[in-house]
Structure 1
C-alpha cells in the first residue's frame, strides 16, 4: 500500500496532483506548523501576459500556528481579485473554461474562514476535474503522533497501514530511510517530470512550467491526466 503525504496548498501545482494520483492513500499534513512565506497560501497561474501570483491573505498570530488553525484575512477583498484574474486575465477563452470555469469560480462565492478548507476545496475541484479518485484523510483525524520529522511520517504511515511511502525528491536530504525500515516501510521517490502542453496564447517556446494544476485542466481538460502520467519517469526506490 503506497501512501503519500503533503501539506495542503491553495491551487496546488502539478507535482502535488501527480503525487496524489500515484498513491493508494493521500494524507493531508494539516497538523504541522504553518510555513510563512511558503506556498501554502499562494500559487502562480498563467495569464495572457505571463505568470501571476495569487496569494490568499492570512492572519498572523503565533509563529507556531498549525496549518489547520490558520485563518484567512477576509478584511481584504482577495476573493473578487482572484475571481477576476482567473476569469478575465487568465482562462476565459481557454479550451475547457466553459466546462470547468463555473466550478472554479464558484469557490469564491464562499467566505472561507480557514485556509485549509479553501485549500482542500481547490484541491478536490482539480482532482474531480482530472478524474482522480485517491482516498484522502487528514493527519489531524488520525490521532496524536509524538514523533518529529522522519519519525512523524513513519508513525503516520504505520497508522494507516502503509508498506511504502512515496516522497517528493526535495525530501531526500532529511528522510531517514533507515528509520522507515525499522517500521517496515519502504521509501520511493516521486522523481516528478513536468509535462509540456498547449497553453492558451503561448507558443511552444513560451511554455510556462510550474503553474497551478488549474492551468493544465483549463487548457487540456481531463486528458491532462494522461499527459501527466505519460511524462513520468519510473518511481525510484533506493
Structure 2
C-alpha cells in the first residue's frame, strides 16, 4: 500500500477518465463512420462510441449489456431497449412473432426491462410455448403461464455460488442487483418474490439432475430405476 500511494493520483485520473470519452473524442460512429457516436457499452472491450442503430446491431448476441449515452457533457444511463433492440427467442426472422414488451429479466450485474419476441409461426410446435423458448435461451421464467419476468441461468448460478461460499442471503443479493441498476435505491422494479421462487425451483431442478433424475420418458418416470433409490451407507467394520 505504501508503494501504491505514490501512484494514487495516476489511478484516480484514470478512473475519472472513464467519465469522459477517452480516446474517442471525435463524433463519428466507430462502425458506420457516418452518424454521430454517442453510445458506449460498459461491458464491451474497447470503449468505442457508436450511433444508436450500430449499437443495437452489434449487441444482438449480447442483448443484456449495459450502455450509456453521451449528452455533450457526461454519460447518462440508457438501454438497448430504448435504442430499439428486441430480443428474439425461438428462431431469428420469424414471420409471425409474438411480441412482449416491458419484460423484466434479472442478470448478473443488473435488472433489465427488455422487449422480446418469440416464435408463433408454423415452427412453434417445435419451439414450444414461451416458457420453453425462454429456457432454451438460458432464461428461467418466473411462472409457467404468460411469464413476464425471468432470470438468466448465469444470475441463478452466481447466486447459488455466492450463498454457498459467502452465505449471501437472497435479499442482500437482490438488493445488490437493484443498487447496480439504480444507485439511488429508488427502483420501481420489485421482483424479489419472483426471484425467491425462481431460485427455489432452479436449486431443486439442479439437485434432481445431479441425482440422476434428469433422463425421463414420456410418463415422467426415471429411465434409470436405481437413480430413484438411495443406497444405505455401509456398515463400519469392527
TM-score by length of 1: 0.21
TM-score by length of 2: 0.21
Higher helix proportion, which one? 1
The higher radius of gyration belongs to 2
Higher normalized contact order (CA 8 Å, seq sep 6+, divided by chain length): 1
